[in-house]
Amino acid sequence: MENLEDLKIMAEQWSYQGIEYLQKIPPTQLYAAVGVLLFTTILLLLSIRLVRRTKSNTVLLSGLSGSGKTVLFYQLRDGSSHQGTVTSMEPNEGTFVLHSKNAKKGKIKPVHLVDVPGHSRLRPKLEEFLPQAAAIVFVVDALEFLPNCRAASEYLYDILTNANVVKKKVPVLLCCNKTDKLTAHTKEFIRKQMEKEIEKLRASRSAVSTADIANDFTIGIEGEVFSFSHCCNKVTVAEASGLNGETVQVQDFIREYIKP
């Protein structure tokens, strides 16, 4: 008990001393000190908010194994796919300015491009990169589309219902690769097929109870057939040919969403 009282008395003494000291300082200095303090705190807060608001410039290249992501990655980086590729076992990352035939003038901001392996055993790697993604390019093999349609749509469904993608409204580009071949499907056909498959997935997965452990969110509007326009994040379709170097549409998409 005595200790508490002693402490109280000491605290009071210190506060009196502090107030006396403050009153001793001429007022201008005091105001200046307070002003500097306020200024620095405001500066700190602003910088923190700015840092948060600057979007990451990471673009993810995802898709099934064999759809041509690694070829596309090297095309965007170097303009050629060198001597060919094999199934990737690890992601390819790089921060570079997109390689384009007609050199654009002005400052082009380098883009952080990540090519995530498509093999199903390496699926957890995608979840590592999703939080930092500012845009996603989902590459689909337009040549061998129908046999892989179901697997591709399941993958796309998982991406579109991922918590990070939905909350940040990450734009997705459905890129139909290998369009240089004669028997490749058109992007309209691919878009319609994917919508149909995702509609079926929606029906089978939302038949589960409210604790949907498989997917974080559901997409689309209840009662209507699914269409990509129902997603809250923007989903567009484009064509490309990795081997021929026709990556203009992909480059436009990237440039649109990674602002300098």
Binding site for other proteins (CB under 8 A): 65-66, 70, 74, 78, 82-92, 115, 117, 119-124, 150-151, 154, 200-201, 203-205, 207-209, 211, 213-214
Q: Which is nearer to other proteins, 78 or 256 (CB)?
A: 78
Q: Which is nearer to other proteins, 117 or 171 (CB)?
A: 117
Shortest Cβ 103–other proteins spacing (Å) = 21
Q: Which is nearer to other proteins, 74 or 145 (CB)?
A: 74
Q: Which is nearer to other proteins, 70 or 251 (CB)?
A: 70
Residues 30 and 20: their CA atoms lie apart, in Å, by 13
Shortest Cβ 196–other proteins spacing (Å) = 11
Q: Which is nearer to other proteins, 53 or 121 (CB)?
A: 121
Q: Which two tokens stand for residue 125?
A: 């790697």
Tell me whether strands 133-141 and 92-96 are parallel, antiparallel or unpaired. Answer: unpaired
Looking at residue 135, what DSSP letter applies?
E
Residue 92: exposed, middle, or buried by beta-carbon count in 10 A (0-12, 13-18, 19+)? middle
Shortest Cβ 112–other proteins spacing (Å) = 15
Residue 141: exposed, middle, or buried by beta-carbon count in 10 A (0-12, 13-18, 19+)? buried
Shortest Cβ 163–other proteins spacing (Å) = 14
Looking at residue 104, what DSSP letter applies?
P
Chain centroid offset of residue 6 CA: 59
Shortest Cβ 89–other proteins spacing (Å) = 5
- CA angle in degrees (0–180, nearest 5) for 254-65-130: 45
